[in-house]
Amino acid sequence: MESQFGEKIRALREEQHLYLRQVAPLLEMDTAQLSKIEKGLRQLKREQIPTIAHILKANVNELLTLWLSDQIYAVVKDEKLGYQAMQMAEEKIRFRKENDIIG
Amino acid sequence: MESQFGEKIRALREEQHLYLRQVAPLLEMDTAQLSKIEKGLRQLKREQIPTIAHILKANVNELLTLWLSDQIYAVVKDEKLGYQAMQMAEEKIRFRKENDIIG
DNA sequence: CTGTTTTTTGCCAATATTTGACAAGTCAAT
DNA sequence: ATTGACTTGTCAAATATTGGCAAAAAACAG
């Protein structure tokens, strides 16, 4: 469960019966890189998420949420105070939403 | 409210009636750097948090939580799906806790 | 088992990001 | 106008991340 995004990408790719060899060039990378992304050893660039969603016929928002979640998890995974910190950050976001600074 | 950690550090420093000039050398940096840290323009290194907590007679865990929260916030601050992503990451952490992988 | 294709791994140069150090700047008090 | 505290800008140095290749490993077909 180290990279939910990577696991999802792989699942989607297999559903579509595509090989790394077929998908990687569409993202302008080689198979090695895409393999690492699927295993969570590399990060896909934020701006490539819409592209891969299109290639794999998946929902952009779902993939983006998974991707962001992985980024957050990376910050706190080894921290015993991680949960508290997340609650605090969440509160900050919630406050922002209540004030319509962001939709 | 861009850096809760920085704001806290500054508040603590002022409570102790200390100048940047006095604190910075104890962290092996110059006043310019510490000033930026307090304003959220630079990050204090994770491993320096216990040191600064000691210097400012503050609670390490509190400062660490603030620091982590800032890191998390930086990931999601411009993301409309940030809140969802945080919930997802939180769930992952909660799951981990329930299984005692971490205290 | 052998040959073929797919995926994984390791390495390191290239690129990108962050930091450290210094100089010059503002601001407030005197 | 001078002093002291803090801030800002710049840029090279240090770190971290990524891209690309080659070779190993794993999966699969015959």
> What digits encode the pLDDT tens for the residues A89-102?
999 999 876 766 54
Give strand C nucleotides closer than 7 A to any protein Cβ: 5-10, 18-24
Q: Among the listed ranges A41-50, A94-103, B37-46, B48-57, which one has the minimum average pLDDT value? A: A94-103
Give the CA A56 to C1' D26 distance in Å: 25
Query: Can you give the pLDDT at residue B102?
Result: 46
Task: Give Cβ neighbours of residue A62 (< 8 Å, ≥ 6 apart).
Answer: A8
Q: Which pTM value belongs to this model?
A: 0.93
| Residue A69 near chain B (CB below 8 Å) | yes
Helices A4-15 + A60-76 axis angle, to 10: 150
Interface probe with A: pick from B60, B61, B63, B83, most Cβ of A within 10 Å: B83
CA distances from B76 to A65, A85, B3, B40 (A): 10, 14, 14, 16
Cβ-nearest to A75 among B1, B72, B79: B72
With a cut of 90, say whether residue A21 has pLDDT above it: yes
